[in-house]
Amino acid sequence: MSRPDADLNIAVTFRHTESTEALKQYASEKLLNCARKYVSYPTDIHIVLSIEKRDHIAEVQVRSKGYEASAKSTSEDLYAAIDRVVDAVDAQLRKQKERIVEHRPSR
């Protein structure tokens, strides 16, 4: 069970594009909601948003005690890339959570 007061540290980096508060807030909120579902320990989340030619790229790394996930997504729209990368990280964290729960000794 995750605690709502878990220490979640988010860093957002922009490469080859201008930093906008709307993108930063959108990516942060999506990943905070994802991480809160599965992680109950202090967590570091690093988001890299970049543009290379026509490709809009979102990369994410999540690190916490017992959890580690990373994903990268490319799209023609940065918001779509963020949505895809959040889905990938969500799937990884869910799978790790299920493994932890399955391996707990029963009481």
Three-state DSSP class for 54? coil
Question: Which pTM value belongs to this model?
Answer: 0.85
Judge whether 107 lies within some domain: no
Judge whether 80 lies within some domain: yes
Q: How far apart are CA 2 and CA 74, in angstroms?
A: 30
Judge whether 67 lies within some domain: yes
* pLDDT score, position 83: 96
Helix (H) or strand (E) holding 92: helix 78-102
* pLDDT score, position 5: 46
Q: How far apart are CA 3 and CA 64, in angstroms?
A: 14
User: pLDDT tens, 68-99?
Assistant: 999 999 999 999 999 999 999 999 999 988 88
Is beta strand 67-75 parallel, antiparallel or unpaired with respect to 55-64?
antiparallel
> Domain count of the chain?
1
Judge whether 43 lies within some domain: yes
User: pLDDT tens, 38-62?
Assistant: 888 899 999 999 999 999 999 999 9
Judge whether 106 lies within some domain: no
CATH of the domain at 17: 3.30.160.100
- Can you give the residue range of the structural domain that contains 34? 8-101
Q: How far apart are CA 24 and CA 12, in angstroms?
A: 7
Judge whether 79 lies within some domain: yes
Judge whether 64 lies within some domain: yes
